Amino acid sequence: MEETTEFTKSTSILIIGEIITFVLSFGSGFFLVRFFSVDDYSIYNIVLVVPVILFNITDFGLFHGCAYYIARLGKLNKKEESRNVIKITLVTKFLLGIVLAMALFFIAEELASSLFGIQDLILVPLIQLTSILIITSNLLEAVYSILIGSTKMK
């Protein structure tokens, strides 16, 4: 019975978080459309394509694996192994983020001209700036999976 109430509580928290995320992203879209001109908004969307794709490539199942092993090792009272999983996840996600961000930073000009077919040089610094998103998104996802695993071990 206790597992059912814990499951219900966890599910309701997750649903509330998803609803808040949806509302914020929906609201930010309206804000950006009102704030930017049509050209600026299209450039914004073009520039965000590459970091979003690279972020999804860098997952390698670490999100689910980290949450699973932290929860499992925590239930087995293997705290040291659980800490090792946390360290490996953080280091791996950080290093993958750094490598891909650096690669994106240095090939930004080539991406702007060949991939997008746009010769406008304003895209190059914008693509380079968005490479930071890969690092921060990777670290946030790692922390999120660690938190999920930590709550499931209790």
- Per-residue pLDDT of 59-104, as tens digits, reads 778 888 888 888 888 888 888 998 898 899 889 989 988 998 899 8
Average pLDDT, stretch 11-31?
A: 75
Domains of the chain by residue range: 1-35, 37-152
Separation of alpha carbons 14 and 11, rounded Å = 5
User: Position of tokens 């694996």?
Assistant: 65
- The DSSP symbol for 116 reads S
Average pLDDT, stretch 117-142?
A: 81
Separation of alpha carbons 115 and 127, rounded Å = 12
In this structure, of 23-27, 35-39, 107-111, 124-128, the range with the lowest mean pLDDT score is: 23-27
End-to-end, the C-alpha distance of the chain in Å comes to: 15
The per-residue pLDDT for 141 is 85
**Cβ atoms 56, 137 nearer than 8 A:** no
For 104-119, the pLDDT digits (tens) are 889 888 887 877 777 7
Separation of alpha carbons 115 and 93, rounded Å = 26
User: Position of tokens 């990777």?
Assistant: 138
Separation of alpha carbons 86 and 65, rounded Å = 11
The per-residue pLDDT for 33 is 73
pTM of the model: 0.71
